Amino acid sequence: MYLSSIKSISTDVSLLKITCFAWILAKLMSFKLWTSDRIFPVLPTFDFISVPNEVHLFLYSISLFGIIYVFFVPNKKIITAVLILEIIACLLDYMRWQPWQYQYILTLAFFLFAKDKKQFLLLFSFLIGCTYIFSGAHKFGGSFLYTFWDSIILRKIFSFPSIIIKNPIVHYSGLLLCLIEIAIGIGFLFFKNKKYFCLMAITMHLIIILIYGPTGMNYNLIIFPWNLAMIFFSIVFFYQKEVLKIRIDFFKNKGNSIVVLFVGILPLLSFFDKWDHYLSFNLYSGNTKVLVTCVENMQQYPALEKYKSVVKNNKYCNNTYIMDINKWAMDELNVPIIPQERVYLKMQSQFNKRYPNIPNTFVYYQYPYKKENIKVLR
């Protein structure tokens, strides 16, 4: 039934509807993210921005209704209003700049500003293709093999013994996943026949859903709507009648230049930590900085106690308890913390304002997990 409806609706409108539907689900699943009535601090982009919870709820409610309206009626005035509301909401809290949020904002912006259907489809293809390419490229390294391939896929999912996991052929075969993801992106961008690349993408996203879903790790469930959206994007591309292929003319078009800059060029700087990882679709690579807090007495804040380690930690903290900031964010907001040092500094500042009676030291570390890669946030 749904596949037949995809065929009957124009490709651009189908992509817009899928985006809106996934966005609605994500907004509902992450309700606390869009409020200030929570124990996780709000991390405003600018220090002078501070608004009451009613403003956060107003932006959330009006924008959500706008997205629902656009799902049924792709009205460009409503799309404009949604984009303005979402950008304002994101400026109020760094935590809202999740990769799916960024992709959905760009998709609506493309639909709004593209001069015709063809330009929208090309811009959208460029976005999706670059998403796969950068996501795969960021995973191409030891951090992905250690944190995801060895620890999650081989050990947790398949229960392989250590002697097999340490086998070089088994260990480095995980890089095939990175190459497959890059190949999917290239296929979406430059190949006329996208059939096999669509099937590869659908298979990959189904596996991700199985791994992180209730039958698997039951973790980071906010990625479900996004992965479902990517599956249906592939189905739309699979059934499209138009030949959608990025040619040299695409890059010569001045109207496309800002998209090429933000989606295709600036993300390259993320490999040198000069551009945001989430805005470069650096996902599950294991190579971003991880933030923790070293704390002692937290008894006056019982809501935070469950995020404190049972025993004292000597690896990242100087024989004090460790508080997992990402677990806190995932539990309350249903999203991970944005892995950027400026966001970590903002978190440190807002935490100390909100919980002034908790002596702490904020520490971040990254792969490879050696002493020199453990830094105190100052």
Same domain, 132 and 219: yes
For the chain, the farthest-separated pair of C-alpha atoms sits apart, in whole angstroms, at: 63
3-state SS, residue 376? strand
Two tokens at 314?
Answer: 């000597």
Same domain, 280 and 208: yes
**Domain boundary at 252, 286, 320, which?**
286
Instruction: Read off the pLDDT of each residue in 89-118 and give the average, rounded to a whole number.
Output: 96
Percentage, residues of the chain above pLDDT 90: 76
Same domain, 302 and 345: yes
**Domain boundary at 113, 147, 170, which?**
113
Residue 3: alpha-carbon gap to chain centroid: 27
**Domain boundary at 240, 267, 286, which?**
286
Same domain, 44 and 144: no
Same domain, 82 and 119: no
User: 296: pLDDT confidence band, cut at 50, 70 and 90?
Assistant: confident
Measured CA to CA, the distance from residue 199 to residue 187 in angstroms comes to 11
Same domain, 229 and 86: no
**CA-closest candidate to residue 16, choices 69, 84, 89:** 69
Same domain, 187 and 282: yes
Same domain, 275 and 176: yes
User: 318: pLDDT confidence band, cut at 50, 70 and 90?
Assistant: confident
Same domain, 296 and 278: no
Domain that holds residue 47: 1-113
Instruction: Read off the pLDDT of each residue in 117-129 and give the average, rounded to a whole number.
Output: 94
Same domain, 129 and 233: yes
Q: How many CB atoms lie within 10 A of CB 269?
A: 12
Measured CA to CA, the distance from residue 203 to residue 209 in angstroms comes to 10
Note the pLDDT tens digit of each residue in 5-46: 445 578 899 999 999 999 999 999 999 999 999 999 999 999
The pLDDT value recorded for residue 243 is 60
**CA-closest candidate to residue 112, choices 167, 75, 166, 157:** 75
User: 110: pLDDT confidence band, cut at 50, 70 and 90?
Assistant: very high
Element (H, E) at 295: strand 290-295
Tell me what the pLDDT averaged over the chain comes to.
92
User: 203: pLDDT confidence band, cut at 50, 70 and 90?
Assistant: very high
Note the pLDDT tens digit of each residue in 160-187: 999 999 999 999 999 999 999 999 999 9
Same domain, 147 and 166: yes
Whether the per-residue pLDDT at 1 is higher than 50: the answer is no
pTM: 0.94
* Residues 6 or more apart in contact with residue 378 via CB below 8 angstroms: none
Instruction: Read off the pLDDT of each residue in 140-144 and give the average, rounded to a whole number.
Output: 94
What is the count of structural domains for the chain? 3
Instruction: Read off the pLDDT of each residue in 218-223 and give the average, rounded to a whole number.
Output: 90
User: 2: pLDDT confidence band, cut at 50, 70 and 90?
Assistant: very low
The pLDDT value recorded for residue 7 is 52
Percentage, residues of the chain above pLDDT 70: 97
Do residues 293 and 351 make contact, with C-beta atoms less than 8 angstroms apart?
yes
Same domain, 270 and 335: no
Measured CA to CA, the distance from residue 356 to residue 198 in angstroms comes to 52
